[in-house]
Each structure stands twice: as C-alpha cells, then as structure tokens.
C-alpha cells in the first residue's frame, strides 16, 4: 500500500492518514468506521497498531475498487500531502558515505577519508528538520553559501528492535519513503554533521510511505535527483556499501529502534559539493528527488524568513 499523511488543499484541517489509490486518497479511519471497524488516523498510530491493523486495512480496501463509501475518499488533486511521518518521535538516523563513488567525491571535495568506511557512518537529523512535498527548503544566506542535495531511500521501522541479527533485520521494516538529506556543507563543525544536516527544513520526506510488501527488493531501486529539471544524481540502491539489514542491526546493537523510526540509507555520487565547479542550491531552485517504486519528492528552495 501507498500510505500518505494529508490535509485538504487549503491546509485548514487536521492531518489525516490515507491510502493513495490511483487518482484518489482514501481516508483510513473513515473507511474503517464505514465498515464498523476502528483504525488509527495517523501514520505512527497505524505502525503502532501492528500487522493486524495493516492487514485489516488491506481487506477493507479490497472490495470497493472505485466505489468508495460516501465521505471516505477524495481526489488526489484536492489534498495536500505532508511528510508521511510529519513529526517523528526522535531524530532521523542518517547514514553517511554509503555509496563507493560518493566516498570518492567526498574525499576530493569535503576532506573526508579516502578509504571505504569499515562500519556505517551514523549521524542524525532532528524531527524539526522534516518537511513534506512542496514545502520550501530554507536557504539562510547568513549561515550557508553551500546548500547541497542528497537523494536517499529511507527505511521506516515497524517494531522495536534491539540486539538483533542481520538475518532478522528485514522483519522489522514497515516500509520505505524518499528523503532529500539537505546539507549545508560549510556548517560542519570539527567533523560533527548535525548542524550541517539538521537545520529546520533540511529533511524533505515523501511523497508517500510504501509498505514493505510492495517493495520486493529494496536493494535494486533506481534513484535520481534533478535540479530545475537537470539530472544531478542517478544510481541504484544495489551500490550501497552497507545494505539495509546491516544498517538496522548496527544501529540496534546500541540504540533501541522503535516503531516509526526512520533510517536514511545514504546518497550516491552527484552531490553539488562533488561537482566541478561546485554547485549549490539557491532560492528559486526546484529540487526533485525520486526513488523507483515510491515516487517523486519535489521541493522549492526559498529564502529563510
């Protein structure tokens, strides 16, 4: 299923949980109520409710096709999509230097080590960095002149994980989404990345969350990023140095992963810092991050207020 968090187009109502089906968005809680059932009205609520709730939602969607009960669906064009998880419970786990060619370009342009990492490089982005499709990536010229892009596949955890084996790790995945790991390259501080990567609006996420059963092989997905329609990044998740089971097991070896936690799995080469000459985002740019099987995440770059 393609799950979304949405509001009406005017953004005057509360956020709701929906299923994106073709040209329509079906409200999860209202669909359940129409059948005399109960389901959560938020993404975190649905994840918390476990596999039985997701299975019930699938059964409720099956019989209707395009004939939805009154008041349960609306046209996609009538809604505004938010980040699938607009307010994560804790920081997003970011993974640095997880594609071989990105390691090389980072060594040339950002003074990171030339050798491939022997363990995942983990950093974090605060929940306040999250924005949704169409929201503005803020460019604060007083803080940065080197605002950069990074398209990434993101993994959403479905149940608590601590001290698990790699062989078990995929059983803990609820689904996947797209993240653009925005980075102010001139804001790194003595090797620490959170100020560079964690500022407000630096984690565009969306357009939807695709449940794990829909992605047969997350290690064979094309991913691209375009700036103003021009292709900047193009690769495939098969080129990850550390695959998803290794990332989950590594983090869970020391930090409890909880339902709704998000792991951004790293970016391939083609970032602005690695280009010749270097290239940065400025207000007026439009950035499109895309991952196969999930969709397109489009955000403008705007002046900070």
Determine the pLDDT at residue 164.
Answer: 98
Across the 305 residues of the chain, what is the mean pLDDT of every consecutive 10-residue run?
95 95 96 97 98 97 85 96 98 94 76 82 97 98 97 98 98 98 94 94 98 98 98 97 98 98 97 95 98 98 92
Domain ranges of the chain: 2-81, 92-303
Cα–Cα distance for residue pair 54/199, rounded to 1 Å: 33
Cα–Cα distance for residue pair 164/250, rounded to 1 Å: 9
Cα–Cα distance for residue pair 296/224, rounded to 1 Å: 9
Q: Which CATH architecture has domain 92-303?
A: Alpha-Beta Complex (3.90)
Enumerate helices (H) and strands (E) in the chain, giving the number of each.
7, 19
| Other Cβ atoms within 10 Å of 244 Cβ, number | 21
HSE at residue 16, side-chain half, CA atoms within 13 A, is 21
Determine the pLDDT at residue 111.
Answer: 66
Give the contacts of 274 (CB within 8 A, at least 6 positions apart). Answer: 102, 105, 106, 108, 109
């Amino acid at each position: 299923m393609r799950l979304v968090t949405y509001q009406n187009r005017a953004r005057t109502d509360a956020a709701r949980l929906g299923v994106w089906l073709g040209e329509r968005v079906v409200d999860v809680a209202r669909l359940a109520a129409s059948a005399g059932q109960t389901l959560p009205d938020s993404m975190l609520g649905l994840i918390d409710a476990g596999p039985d709730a997701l299975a019930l939602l699938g059964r409720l969607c099956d019989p209707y096709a395009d004939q939805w009960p009154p008041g349960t669906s609306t046209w996609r064009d009538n809604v505004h999509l938010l980040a699938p998880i607009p307010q994560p419970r804790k920081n997003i786990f970011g993974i640095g230097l997880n594609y071989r060619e990105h390691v090389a370009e980072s060594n040339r342009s950002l003074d990171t080590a030339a050798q491939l990492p022997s363990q995942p490089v983990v950093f974090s982005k605060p929940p306040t960095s999250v924005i949704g499709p169409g929201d503005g990536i803020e460019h604060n010229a007083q803080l940065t002149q080197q605002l950069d892009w990074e398209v990434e596949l993101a993994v959403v955890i479905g149940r608590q994980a601590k001290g698990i084996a790699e062989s078990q790790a995929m059983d803990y995945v609820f689904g996947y989404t797209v993240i653009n790991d925005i980075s102010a390259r001139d804001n790194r501080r003595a090797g620490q990345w959170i100020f560079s990567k964690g500022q407000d609006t630096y984690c565009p996420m969306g357009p939807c969350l695709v449940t794990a059963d829909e992605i047969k092989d997350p290690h064979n997905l094309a991913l691209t990023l375009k700036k103003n329609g021009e292709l900047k990044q193009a690769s495939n998740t098969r080129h990850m140095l550390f695959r998803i089971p290794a990332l989950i097991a590594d983090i869970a070896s020391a930090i409890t992963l909880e339902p709704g936690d998000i792991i951004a799995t790293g970016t391939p080469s083609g970032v602005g810092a690695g280009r010749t000459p270097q290239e940065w985002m400025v207000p007026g740019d439009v950035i499109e991050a895309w991952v196969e099987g999930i969709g397109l995440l489009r955000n403008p770059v705007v002046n900070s207020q």
